[in-house]
Amino acid sequence: MWAYTIRRLLYSIPILFGVSLVVFALFHLVGGDPAQLLLGKHATAERVAVVRTELGLDRPLIYQFGNYLKEIVTFDFGKSYTTREEIRKKIADGFIPTLCLSVPAFFLTAILSLGIALFVAYFRGRWIDRLSVIFFVFLMSMPGLAYILFGQYILASKLGLFPISGYGSSWEDRVKYLALPVLISVFLNLGSDIRFFRNSVIEEVNQDYVRTARAKGLGEVFVYLKHVLKNSMIPVITYVVIQIPYLVLGSLLLESFFSIPGLGGMTIEAVNNSDFPMLKAMTTVISMIYILTTILTDILYRLVDPRMSFGKRG
């Protein structure tokens, strides 16, 4: 396993290089002049030239790309264009609020989805199953903004069950302020997750080994928990783990609407202010997380099903 992990990490280097090349091209060749965007359309040419020199944008592109690769290796992305703060420090400061929002929502969604999917699959073909499918499709069809507006207007403003927005200074306050965003995040993903897990479980239920287990006289609940659940975990793990990089992306709207000082809110702010260093840093960080989660997925495969062999595949 260690040899496979190290080999996959080495294979990830050219992938990360390709991602960095695409990101650099998008921001420097397609995105326009950062100095002009930063100063505004009414800035004089002399002022734009001065800012370009200050930011190092007047140097050759190959030099700028090499500097960008150095930033990735050292994880030092310089300073923000707008706040002049160290980006590394901004990411570190925003990481905790994002985790406080995303991690509880992630685990709650996964546990609830898998439990409900097993329950619904147990009654497959019956009215409970058909009614639940309609409800899940309804949840999937609702836009995320509708959940946010409903939560803030009805649950927070009218009923007073939650604070409308904020983050708090103590952990007790944070739990109070984050309860509604976490609840909304769970409902945002619950419908699609349950449908996927339900289909994975039903696919396993129709396998020959399940019919054999039933023919041996094993109880239906035992068959589900011992055989069906275990063998349906591989697609479930793939689906769950692959969503980890989207924890940050999924918190963009929530952090913005609920005034949570996390990475999602910083990214929205960077987009509005054309803060290219911050945007490049966030894009790179998300790419790194995605690469690491693909490796983690294969390792979890081996833990769930020891029969799987890593071999020499990449």
- SS3 letters across 133-183: HHHHHHHHHCCHHHHHHHHHHHHHHHCCCCCCCCCCCCHHHHHHHHHHHHH
Within 13 A of 164's CA, how many CA atoms are on the CB side? 6
Q: How far apart are CA 245 and CA 250, in angstroms?
A: 9
Domain 87-304 has CATH 1.10.3720.10: yes
For residue 134, the tally of other CB atoms under 10 A from its CB is: 8
User: Position of tokens 């929530």?
Assistant: 254
CA nearest neighbour of 76 among 87, 85, 84: 87
Q: In the structure, what pLDDT confidence band is assigned to residue 314 with cuts at 50, 70 and 90?
A: very low
Quick one: average pLDDT of 34-51? Answer: 74
Q: What percent of the chain has pLDDT over 70?
A: 90
First to last CA, the chain: 13
pLDDT tens for each residue of 167-198: 877 888 888 899 999 999 888 888 888 888 88
pLDDT at 312: 47
296 contact partners, CB below 8 Å, separation of at least 6: 241, 244
pLDDT at 11: 81
259: left (phi over 0), alpha (psi -120 to 50) or beta: left
pLDDT at 55: 74
pLDDT tens for each residue of 248-258: 666 777 888 88
pLDDT at 303: 67
Apex 301 CA angle, 226 and 297, nearest 5: 130
Quick one: average pLDDT of 150-163? Answer: 88
Q: How far apart are CA 163 and CA 95, in angstroms?
A: 22
Residue ranges of the domains in the chain?
A: 87-304
Q: What percent of the chain has pLDDT over 90?
A: 2
Q: What 3-state class would DSSP assign to 79?
A: strand
CA distances from 43 to 6, 46, 47, 98 (A): 50, 8, 6, 36
pLDDT at 268: 80
pLDDT tens for each residue of 211-252: 787 777 777 777 777 777 777 777 777 777 777 766 666 677
pLDDT at 284: 83
pLDDT at 214: 75
CA distances from 187 to 75, 90, 106, 138, 158 (A): 35, 29, 11, 11, 20
CB 234 within 8 A of CB 301: yes
